[in-house]
Amino acid sequence: MIQHQSKLPEVSPSIFSVMSGLAHKHNAINLSQGFPNFKSDPKLLKLVTKAMQSGYNQYAPMAGAMELREAIATKFEYLYNTSYNPESEITVTAGATQAIYTIISAFIKQDDEVIIFRPAYDCYEPTIALNGGKTVSIQLEAPTYGVNWEMVKSKINNNTKMIIINTPQNPSGTIFSKQDMLQLQELVKGTNIIVLSDEVYEHIIFDNEQHQSACLYPVLKEHSFIVASFGKTFHNTGWKLGYCCAPKSLMEEFQKIHQFNVFCVNHPMQKAIAEYISEPQHYVELPSFYQQKRDFFLNLIKESRFKITPSKGTYFQVLDFSAITQENDVTFAKRLTIDHKLAAIPMSVFNENETDYKMLRFCFAKTEDTLEKAAAIICNL
């Protein structure tokens, strides 16, 4: 057998693969990995076919189809009244994951420190480690997951190269306020710290809250990469299409890596999405679409023994099961899948030292029929 030294000795298959695999094996309703079980807009699918039939089947330009970059720039103007130059400040990527991987690879060197907030989405830390960086975690506490910005300030030193934020936040379902963004802006002002703002759920935000994009804050914008995902936004997670935006000098560094990482991404889908997002209603209607799903699900489980703090954004709902069992969350998640045929994600995997808070994350991007079946199981626990 070939001997090798793992570059990620601590890493095993992600919780999303594990729980979706278990759900499949045991024929359980899968509310674990985050993906919709309904079809996306037939109009969008037709646009992909049209693009393929029109011959857009060869490499796209390295930074992305120009129509799509222009449409993204228009969307920023429409939603946030700010602009990115499609020539030099926007790159289309193979999902948000590749954007995140490439941003971290472009800027993080040996011993650089990257601040992240926990519970955190799973792809940040391994990518930082692969590049020799050190993750500095700030653990946030349920149910508010509020940030103590003085504490963040105390973690910043000469090695701090990047801060990663994620609002609306996966897995907690919380959002950053305007006040949070102003505090962050104050912290990075006058420094060389890069902010990676993971905004893949920008269109999935509830109760009339406004998404606090990093681009809304001029100083913050100068420091930031904004990352987005068309897969998440338009119910096609399997398309793996996203983008990132940043000031020109940062984007130039990004593209040095991007061109050797993937060079370019799926061309016909870029053409289709360019046309699709030129009609703002396609993204403006998303918050109410998903809020309806959240409310439908929460109404069905309101008499259950789970403790509910309604999600403020994302298509995830965290539920506290401490009144049901004292098992740890990983054990409970597995038992729920195998014995009760309902899969969810244990929250501990996103926390520092895998702290068990007796919580599970459920994805409600599902049809009403599926949510009803899942709720019946939840109410019987």
Interaction site with ligand GLN (CB under 6 A): 14, 16, 33-34, 170
Residue 111 to residue 109: CA distance in whole angstroms: 6
Distance CA 109, CA 14 (A): 25
What minimum distance in Å lies between the beta carbon of 171 and ligand GLN? 7
Residue whose CB is less far from ligand GLN, 16 or 296: 16
| Cβ at position 263, least distance to ligand GLN in Å | 22
Task: Name the binder of 16 from ligand PMP, ligand GLN, none, CB < 5-8 A by kind.
Answer: ligand GLN
Residue 213, contacted partner among ligand PMP, ligand GLN, none, CB below 5-8 A by kind: none
Q: Which does 197 bind (CB under 5 to 8 A by kind): ligand PMP, ligand GLN, none?
A: none
Choose from ligand PMP, ligand GLN, none: what does 233 bind? Cβ within 5-8 Å by kind.
none
Report, in Å, the least distance between residue 94 CB and ligand PMP: 7
Burial per residue of 117-134, b for 16 or more beta-carbon CB atoms within 10 angstroms, e otherwise: bbbbbbbbbbbbbebebb
Q: At closest approach, how far in Å is the CB of 34 from ligand GLN?
A: 3
Question: Helices 95-107 and 248-261: crossing angle, nearest 10°?
Answer: 110
Q: Which does 198 bind (CB under 5 to 8 A by kind): ligand GLN, ligand PMP, none?
A: ligand PMP
Q: Whose Cβ is closer to ligand PMP: residue 105's or residue 237's?
A: 237
Is 304 or 348 the residue whose CB approaches ligand PMP more closely?
348
Picked from ligand PMP, ligand GLN, none, the partner binding residue 236 (CB below 5 to 8 A depending on kind) is none
Alpha helices in the chain (DSSP H): 15-25, 42-53, 66-80, 95-107, 124-130, 149-155, 178-188, 218-223, 230-233, 248-261, 267-276, 281-284, 286-300, 329-340, 368-379
On the CB side of 128, CA atoms within 13 Å amount to 22
- Rounded to a whole number of angstroms, the CA Rg of the chain reads 21
Nearest residue to the partner ligand PMP, using Cβ: 95
State the residue for tokens 């069905």.
Answer: 300
Smallest separation (angstroms) from ligand GLN to the CB of 191: 30
Hey, what are 244's tokens?
A: 């990132």
Work out what residue 96 binds among ligand PMP, ligand GLN, none; the CB cut-off runs from 5 to 8 Å by kind: ligand PMP
Q: Shortest distance, CB of residue 363 to ligand GLN, whole angstroms?
A: 6
Residue 370 contacts residue 323 (beta carbons within 8 Å): no
User: From the CB of 166, what's the least distance to ligand GLN, in Å?
Assistant: 11
**Which residues contact residue 26 at a Cβ distance below 8 angstroms, ignoring those fewer than 6 apart?**
337, 338, 341
Closest-approach residue to ligand GLN (CB): 34
Closer residue to ligand PMP in complex, CB, 365/375: 365
Q: Residue 355 in contact with residue 343, Cβ under 8 Å?
A: no
Q: Which residues bind ligand PMP (CB under 6 A)?
A: 95-97, 121, 166, 170, 198, 200, 229, 231-232, 237, 240, 242
